[in-house]
Chain A
């Protein structure tokens, strides 16, 4: 079905079917709906007799972050077909990405405590990243060996950059 969506909502799975312009079915229950866009970020959403204000905080392809009633919802919206396709891709990428540790923030590498080949335990500090004048321990997400370290002491790193790889 082309208007049949699978939504990952803060890691919960939801189903939504758009039945017509003003009818939507969510997890098997149907509602009359009306979505009014007030500007680029602000929407009013009516379901039956209740209206919510919804803020579109950030948007990137299928991913959307919304703020509603004081709660952020991180949503990944896919049609049933897209979902099947992305599941296949995910499985093949999983093994590759698991072992990379990314920088959680822009900062400066202050000290590297390990070298390639070293054994590290889950939670053990591998390097110190300085940001906002605070020193932050970057810890190993699991036990294993350091495959390689892609940064060097005294150099800045961007958010999301790969710091080191484990195996």
Chain B
């Protein structure tokens, strides 16, 4: 049994991991940057240690600092969370060599699956279908131009080392190809220190469906069904659900089998996610494997009654999986909404501020994973994900109704968030029918006239907003003016409240 686990992350995921670590009676330790001195994760962990710096490169991306701290505090294991160094093979190799257990797959697996072109080659060889396109990375514009003429437009240019939409460009015609190719290479170089890219045929209106897998170090593999993650803006997910209402039983069987095949092909152990595109004819294409815990893992936990972090820790302790495939039963439906500090009217770019008030929704079938609290500074240094709300219902529509109410009950002041935008999605007819793909937000939201989506509140909502705006302004004016107050508000409380 591990005695102490160092959680090398921040925000909601560090808090979430600390909770399971604490439940298992293991000491949880976290690191914090200068920008995170009073961040929530430092309060939930048993121990917290400064690593200094404001920018990620000086803190949460510093391999030497984390390993030396882990040794110093005598941590048995490191949990990387998601993002930062979680899928960095060199980091994982350094952890392996330090004698500290890594809660995740081997560096070798991560290296193979991290190079998108290597992963595509491997999947292709093992019979997992891949998106048509290049197998080998391309670097010269001449080679690339020749290739796209063979594949045919539209195409996607992607970073070989990529993920998260960085270094990814969609091109519909030859005239734009050279510019996009160079831009993708620049982004890739900056984000991943590797400017090699590859080219895929663009699948029309696909769904993004991924399968959660678990594997131990003894060759046991199982899947925990799929997650529907097609609701994306800027190539990043905002609403996820499980199961996918698009899959029938036979497609579900196929996609989960492919996921297990993929996991076995790369000698995977620990928790991982195999991402696929599924087209309108329910053809399945391997996209990539995420060799870590996913942001959206709560939907899987809610429909299967599992704790993936607990399984991750046990696997890292070399235990055999206690669960078998037959133990994993799909029950009900779960939906997750990601609350971001971002402005839907400004291309979903981050907003900043200090949280002046924060009240979370609560109630049956509702889970909240949060990384912020009253007083938190939401700055420019890190990802603007604030909180994840996940609702469970006996069927899809119950989970959705719960989500709509939960979003209404989420109160936050001091910065602007995407809550209204999430409500717009949750209440959208097409979403409610399950009729959406990865182009939904581009087609249904970005095409609206400016401000149109903000008119979604009911007349009653508008009435109360109007009344509040007038009463608030009036109060301010009477407070600062020399006019006698018609009736002092303090009188209600006995008049000596001030």
Contacts and interface: CB of A to CB of B under 8 A. Distances in A.
Contact of A55 (B191, B412, B469): B412
Contact of B463 (A11, A26, A41, A53): A26
Contacts of A18: 470-471, 474
A10 B465 CA distance: 10
Nearest to A5: B470
B356 A7 contact: no
Contacts of B71: none
B471 A35 contact: yes
B428 to A, nearest CB: 14
Nearest to A76: B469
Of A54, A70, A133, chain B has the most CB atoms within 10 Å of the CB of: A70
B471 A33 contact: yes
Nearest to A47: B467
Nearest to A24: B467
Interface in A17-64: 18, 20-21, 24, 26-27, 31, 33, 35, 39-43, 45, 47, 50, 52-58, 62, 64
B152 interface: no
Interface stretch (B115-123, B260-268, B281-289, B448-456): B448-456
A18 B476 CA distance: 13
Interface string A117-143: 000000000001011111110000000
A152 B38 CA distance: 37
B466 A67 contact: no
Interface in B340-362: 346-347, 349-350, 353, 356-357, 359
A77 B469 contact: yes
- By size class, the interface of chain B is 35 or more
A71 B426 CA distance: 13
Interface in B435-476: 451, 454-458, 460-475
A104 B462 CA distance: 28
Nearest to B190: A133
A135 B350 CA distance: 14
Contacts, number: 172
Interface string B394-433: 0000000000100111111111100110010000000000
Given A24-B471, A35-B468, A68-B468, A133 B414 contact: no
Nearest to B469: A75
Given A9-B469, A10-B451, A71 B474 contact: no
Chain A interface residue number, banded: 35 or more
Nearest to A113: B179
Contact of A134 (B234, B457, B458, B470): B234
Nearest to B384: A132
B242 to A, nearest CB: 23
B468 to A, nearest CB: 5
A33 B474 CA distance: 13
B470 A21 contact: no
A26 B467 contact: yes
Contacts of B404: 70
Interface in B461-498: 461-475, 486-487
Interface of A: 3, 5, 7, 9-12, 14, 16, 18, 20-21, 24, 26-27, 31, 33, 35, 39-43, 45, 47, 50, 52-58, 62, 64-75, 77, 104-106, 110, 128, 130-136
Given A40-B357, A73-B461, 20 more contacts: A7-B470, A9-B462, A9-B465, A10-B451, A12-B462, A16-B466, A41-B356, A41-B413, A42-B413, A43-B468, A55-B357, A58-B353, A67-B412, A68-B464, A69-B458, A70-B409, A71-B456, A72-B416, A73-B469, A104-B346
Interface of B: 165-166, 183, 186-187, 190-191, 234, 346-347, 349-350, 353, 356-357, 359, 380, 404, 407-416, 419-420, 423, 451, 454-458, 460-475, 486-487
Shortest Cβ-Cβ A-B pairs, 7 listed = A41-B413, A16-B470, A70-B408, A41-B357, A75-B469, A73-B465, A71-B457
25 contacts: A9-B462, A9-B469, A14-B466, A24-B470, A35-B472, A45-B471, A52-B468, A54-B465, A55-B412, A57-B413, A58-B353, A65-B416, A66-B468, A68-B457, A69-B408, A69-B461, A72-B420, A73-B462, A77-B469, A77-B472, A104-B346, A104-B347, A104-B349, A105-B350, A128-B183
